[in-house]
Amino acid sequence: MTYPTQPKASHFINGTYVEDDAGAPIDVIYPATGEVIAKIHSATRAIIGQALDAARAAQVEWAKMTGTERGRILRRAADIMRERNHDLSVLETWDTGKPYQETSVADATSGADALEYFGGMAATLAGQHIQLGEDWVYTVREPLGVCVGIGAWNYPTQIACWKGAPALACGNAMVFKPSETTPLSALKVAEILVEAGLPAGVYNVVQGLGDVGAALVSDPRVDKVSLTGSVPTGRKVYASAAAGMKHVTMELGGKSPMVIFDDADLDNAVSGAILGNFYSSGQVCSNGTRVFVQKGIREAFLARLTERLGKAVIGDPMDPDTSFGPMVSARQTEIVEGYIAKGVEEGARLVTGGKRLEREGFWLEPTVFADVTDDMTIAREEIFGPVMAVLDFEDETEVMARANDTEFGLAAGVFTRDLARAHRVAAGFEAGTCYINTYNDAPVEAPFGGAKQSGVGRENSAAAIEHYSQLKSVYVRMGDLEAPF
Ligand code: NAD
């Protein structure tokens, strides 16, 4: 049987779809029903080699083009993505289960933003002139070569573009490996780039599990690795890249704090907590899953939150009215159920949710625990599902110490009407991405990334350019050169 979502072939190499049936089969599953919607194959050694060779060859010519020429292609790709936003969003919903209400505004659109932003920036990339008396030094911003991108399953199109756009703008080529759970949309990104005029081989997609990722990371043909994934995977990938002295960007997991003071606008704070815990069914790396609420407003906060959660529309993800979809996979559902059981067992108060929904597919209720303490498993480990932990606090000094008492440092947020306190708290957070009276905004113009175990490097903004290029310094002597003998 062929499915409407079945890609032409598993991989996209050197400007075209490529298949190798010898690779291990991977079923692509629609999370809302559990149905198989496509069948693909993992990359074999031959496919990996083909993709890396194509990227190496294409990179040389791509880097010779001017920034204006490269940028024009990326911006054209951004326009095509926007024109096809509906179809791309439907595909993303098939692949991830996320409601169309989300995919139509947050996936291909944010991928297009990255292509447009870095496309615009490509022509501005330049070195520096440093005068040294008569002599001078100039710097040349050069590409790194072949970059490997490895993605997680929560934002497949966005991750493929957030890595591809800056890499290509700088004159690199990329081999991208999507998550094995959501392999479909990165193929569309590659197809669109080629349609926009990208030379064959500059952006390639290969499929597979961790073993394919590991083979790419350790390959000597690779100069840089950018991973979006969990901390344990990040440790392995970073170590393997270090052995080859490769550049890395690590976008990893988190257990971010959201601190709500008693002077906050209650509805805004509840909105922040909803966005930072239940958007994409809680499968967002920067989620503020430790919600610290100042004691005086705790019950009012929980009452308003429970009331607002009652308005969630849980159902067919393709229906534009649906605002809460399924988990991405059976395995992720089981992991999250395990954490919910742990929360109950360790004495947290289950305020709402906690159960699987009785229907096909991988559905969990939005879940809120209150009376959570810092030592509980649900307050320490990344759950990556729709589970909010509400913790009490008395004062600012105490809550800052507790908010930072974690190995993670991806994001953090504060809700308060006190301006000085808002900035003091943001300054005190040990996190790469902070929010004041909002949560989880990720515009392409702003750097995004983690501190501590949550990662290395930054995506988006001009900061990403530093992670996809290197500077060559050229010293120019104008006079005679003296030597000791
Ligand atoms: P994961 O770590 O299991 O897998 C991520 C990717 O790495 C997948 O493509 C996987 O196939 C690949 N991989 C696994 N083992 C590998 C190895 N040894 N070598 C090379 N590649 C390997 O993560 P996931 O379950 O797909 O995604 C969820 C995690 O991603 C969460 O921890 C989440 O916080 C994190 N995440 C982070 C960001 C961010 O920007 N910081 C964004 C989204 C998700």
4: confidence class by pLDDT, cuts 50, 70, 90: confident
Ligand 1 binding pocket includes 150 (Cβ within 6 Å) = yes
Ligand 1 binding pocket includes 410 (Cβ within 6 Å) = yes
Closest residue CA from atom 40 of ligand 1: 251
Mutate to test the pocket of ligand 1, among 150, 206, 240, 328 (most ligand atoms within 8 A of CB): 150
CA distance 473 to 461: 24
Position 369 scores a pLDDT of: 98
**Given 163, 177, 246, 255, the catalytic residue:** 163
In the sheet that holds 135-143, the strands lie side by side as 129-132, 135-143, 469-476
- Sorted by sequence, the CB contacts under 8 Å of residue 134 that are 6+ apart come out as 478, 479
Read off the pLDDT of each residue in 6-15 and give the average, rounded to a whole number: 98
Percent with pLDDT over 90 in the chain: 99
At 278-307, the pLDDT tens digits run: 999 999 999 999 999 999 999 999 999 999
Position 60 scores a pLDDT of: 98
Position 465 scores a pLDDT of: 98
Closest residue CA from atom 43 of ligand 1: 285
337 counts as catalytic? no
147 counts as catalytic? no
**Given 116, 191, 251, 365, the catalytic residue:** 251
342 counts as catalytic? no
> For residue 131, what are the β-bridge partners?
136
| Tokens standing for residue 75 | 């911006």
Mean predicted lDDT score pLDDT of the chain: 98
CA distance 136 to 57: 34
At 58-95, the pLDDT tens digits run: 999 999 999 999 999 999 999 999 999 999 999 999 99
Ligand 1 binding pocket includes 248 (Cβ within 6 Å) = no
- pLDDT over 90 at 2, yes or no: no
Residue 331, SS3 per DSSP: helix
Read off the pLDDT of each residue in 136-160 and give the average, rounded to a whole number: 98
Ligand 1 binding pocket includes 116 (Cβ within 6 Å) = no
Position 3 scores a pLDDT of: 80
- 229 alpha carbon – ligand 1 mean position (Å): 2
Position 413 scores a pLDDT of: 98
CB 387 within 8 A of CB 340: yes
CA distance 286 to 309: 20
- pLDDT over 70 at 1, yes or no: no
- 72 alpha carbon – ligand 1 mean position (Å): 31
- 479 alpha carbon – ligand 1 mean position (Å): 54
At 340-366, the pLDDT tens digits run: 999 999 999 999 999 999 999 999 999
Q: What is the pTM of this model?
A: 0.97
- pLDDT over 70 at 410, yes or no: yes
Position 456 scores a pLDDT of: 98
- pLDDT over 70 at 438, yes or no: yes
Closest residue CA from atom 21 of ligand 1: 213
Handedness of CA 195, 198, 199, 205 (dihedral sign): negative
CA distance 126 to 123: 8
Q: What single DSSP character describes residue 245?
A: T
Read off the pLDDT of each residue in 141-150 and give the average, rounded to a whole number: 98
CA distance 174 to 115: 14
CA distance 251 to 238: 11
Read off the pLDDT of each residue in 109-120 and give the average, rounded to a whole number: 98
Instruction: Classify residue 97 as left (phi > 0), alpha (psi -120 to 50) or beta.
Output: left
At 192-239, the pLDDT tens digits run: 999 999 999 999 999 999 999 999 999 999 999 999 999 999 999 999
Q: Where are the alpha helices (DSSP H) in 285-441?
A: 298-309, 330-345, 377-380, 396-403, 419-428
CA distance 476 to 424: 47
CA distance 104 to 110: 10
430 counts as catalytic? no
